Amino acid sequence: MTLTPTPTTTRGHDAGQPDFRDRVNTVEASAYRARHHALNMGEVQGQGYVGQALGSADMFAAVYTDQLRYRPEDPHWNGRDRFLLSTGHYAIGHYAALAEAGIIPVDELDTYGSDESRLPMSGMASYTPGMEISGGSLGHGLGVAVGMALGLRFQQSPSRVFNFLSDGELDEGSTWEAAMGAHHHQLGNLTALVDMNALQADGATKTVLGIEPAADKWASFGWHTQRVNGNDAAALLSALDTIAREAGPTGRPSVILCDTKVGKGVPLLEEREKAHFMRIEEHEWQICRDQLTEGHTKGSQA
């Protein structure tokens, strides 16, 4: 299936303020295409972190289509905002967003996870344009983001830093050291987005190591904290708008805790029990695509 990415040139929260409903539509359309990209990539390997990609597609789309400043033809442009993927295994979702952003070609997604591909199954900065860090060792992304945000401020850069984390990373002490550091240095140019999908490799997050009340924890670490339905484009944009109004070189760092549904948009996968690393049978991929398309068509008509 050929899916055309949204044309991208200059974008960002200061690139003009189109009508809010238009912005929501843009996010939803991009997330829908990204979900198809993720299914197509998953099919190449027959398995993978497809549930996470489907669950977090709205988060990626909200940031990439609406907030991030970047130049698709020049991913290393010094004036870009930085998007750091802590959770290397979410690379499949990030590649879908990078294709949507025009940073990597949509056709290249077919090489996902193959030998010699620029798109390895775990995100690696040295391989992929637009991938700022290699994030497979969980719990380190926020620390790198803090250093980057501090460095950008020293350079008097207006660029912002976004860090995508998983709820499993909230079980790691290094994340909280970084959170403390961000508040200490008053990194108003730093935004963390956490995929609160309630899932980890060993089962439900609440059974591995409880992290609730997560919002209270971030707030007590001095962060501007919001918790939203991470599959609701309007809620994501409102939260991001609130932050963008206040974002600056100094001030409180911000976090958005995003409650998402693993496998979102594909009922067959939303119901899977072993959801962290899904094995999907050959005949099921088309069923997944059909369910995704059907749900989207129904949603558009509602």
Residue ranges that bind ligand TPP, judged by CB under 6 A: 52, 87, 89, 136-139, 166-168, 197, 199-201, 276
58 is a contact residue toward Mg ion (CB under 5 A): no
Q: What is the smallest separation between the CB atom of 138 and ligand TPP, expressed in angstroms? A: 4
Core vs surface per residue 104-115: b (16+ CB within 10 A) or e:
bebeebebbbee
Q: Which is nearer to Mg ion, 66 or 167 (CB)?
A: 167
Q: What is the smallest separation between the CB atom of 120 and Mg ion, expressed in angstroms? A: 21
Question: Which of Mg ion, ligand TPP, none does 175 bind, CB closer than 5 to 8 A by kind?
Answer: none
CA angle 253, 259, 190 (to 5 degrees): 15
Residue 281 is given by DSSP the state: -
3 within 8 A of 57, measured Cβ to Cβ: no
Question: Which of Mg ion, ligand TPP, none does 52 bind, CB closer than 5 to 8 A by kind?
Answer: ligand TPP
By CB under 5 A, name the one of 65, 163, 189, 197 that touches Mg ion.
Answer: 197
Q: Which of 80, 104, 81, 82 is nearest to 92 (CA)?
A: 104
# of chain residues touching Mg ion (CB under 5 A):
5
Q: Which is nearer to ligand TPP, 29 or 208 (CB)?
A: 208
Q: Which is nearer to Mg ion, 56 or 189 (CB)?
A: 56
Q: Could you tell me the end-to-end alpha-carbon distance of the chain, in angstroms, rounded to an integer?
A: 25
216's CB contacts (< 8 A; 6+ apart) are none
CA angle 143, 168, 200 (to 5 degrees): 150
174 within 8 A of 143, measured Cβ to Cβ: yes
Q: Which is nearer to Mg ion, 89 or 183 (CB)?
A: 89
30 is a contact residue toward Mg ion (CB under 5 A): no
By CB under 5 A, name the one of 68, 104, 146, 199 that touches Mg ion.
Answer: 199
Q: Which is nearer to Mg ion, 103 or 214 (CB)?
A: 214
